[in-house]
């Protein structure tokens, strides 16, 4: 008499993680996401560890969450995982301001972003 289980949003050989409210613009976050697309997860974590971008630590945390989801929830092999997709979306923007000369007001926009990482298990060719 219980409800039916929700269908999976991704395929059987995929796992996903999403991070919301990252305090950076989508343009800056996309530069880091672009750096890991299509790479094996071990290489992607190494690249994020040694990146000089401030937001790389948050992207690394999201990637590690996707890897943990793949391993624990979907029984996928970690050594065969590849970052299939890493895409960025806009979130809210805080509006702040600063008084300027002659009674004007300088608008300061503080954007937030969200990041979605999809990892896929691919069998190595021999």
* Domain presence at residue 71: yes
Give the separation between CA 37 and CA 72, rounded to whole angstroms.
22
Q: How far is CA 103 from CA 79, 99, 121, 125, in A?
A: 61, 7, 59, 67
Contact assessment for residue 93 and residue 111, using Cβ atoms and an 8 Å cutoff: yes
- Tell me what the mean pLDDT of segment 4-10 comes to: 87
Q: How confident is the model at residue 125 (pLDDT cuts 50, 70, 90)?
A: low
Structurally, the chain folds into a number of domains equal to 1
CATH of the domain at 97: 3.90.470.10
Please give the residue range of the domain that contains residue 31. 14-121
pLDDT in tens, 43-86: 999 999 999 999 999 999 999 999 999 999 999 999 999 999 99
pTM (2 d.p.): 0.91
């Amino acid at each position: 008499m219980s409800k039916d289980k929700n269908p999976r949003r991704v395929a059987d050989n995929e796992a996903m993680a999403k991070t919301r409210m990252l305090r950076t613009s989508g343009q800056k976050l996309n530069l880091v996401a672009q750096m890991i697309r299509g790479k094996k997860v071990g290489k992607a974590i190494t690249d994020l560890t040694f990146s000089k971008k401030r937001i790389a630590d948050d992207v690394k945390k999201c990637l590690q969450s996707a890897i943990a989801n793949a391993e624990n929830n979907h029984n996928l092999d970690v050594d065969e995982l590849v970052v299939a997709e890493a895409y960025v979306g806009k979130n809210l923007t805080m509006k702040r301001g600063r008084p300027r000369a002659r009674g004007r007001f300088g608008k300061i926009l503080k954007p937030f972003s969200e990041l979605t990482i999809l990892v896929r298990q691919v069998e190595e060719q021999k």
